[in-house]
Amino acid sequence: MHDDLSDLAGFTAVKKKLSVKEYIEHVKKVEKLRAQRKVIFFVFLVLAFLVFTTFIIILLQGFSVMGFCLTETLLTWLGAQTIGQIACLAGIICKWLFGK
């Protein structure tokens, strides 16, 4: 994976001739951004997997593949949980991006 932040800790700081304290703060910020980026990527992967498996379960139920049958209340709950997960994640990301 290409890391867009790779140059921030090196060349840019030297080019601007930062003091040692400023350089350390700059490197800490870059590392924090890298860590946040990894966490967000992982959360999106997990969410994508959960949505995909929910979709597969709904398709299996709809086509009754190999006698697959779940109760209607369980399917309703599963759909509501998926929508709730997406809404919660969207809210967290919007708050992180746009507000403090």
* Residue 1 is assigned to a structural domain of this protein: no
The model's pTM is 0.66
* Residue 4 is assigned to a structural domain of this protein: no
Distances in Å between the Cα of 45 and the Cα atoms of 24, 39, 48, 52, 55 are 32, 10, 5, 11, 15
pLDDT in tens, 14-70: 556 778 888 899 899 999 889 888 988 888 898 899 889 999 998 999 898 888 899
How far apart CA 32 and CA 71 sit, in angstroms, is 45
Distances in Å between the Cα of 42 and the Cα atoms of 36, 39, 64, 80 are 10, 5, 33, 22
- What domain count does the chain have? 1
Query: Residue 100 — pLDDT band, cuts 50, 70, 90?
Result: low
* Residue 5 is assigned to a structural domain of this protein: no
- In this predicted structure, what is the pLDDT of residue 18? 78
* Residue 59 is assigned to a structural domain of this protein: yes
pLDDT in tens, 72-84: 999 999 989 989 9
Q: Which domain holds residue 19?
A: 11-98
* Residue 2 is assigned to a structural domain of this protein: no
Query: Residue 7 — pLDDT band, cuts 50, 70, 90?
Result: low
* Residue 43 is assigned to a structural domain of this protein: yes
* Residue 3 is assigned to a structural domain of this protein: no
* Residue 74 is assigned to a structural domain of this protein: yes
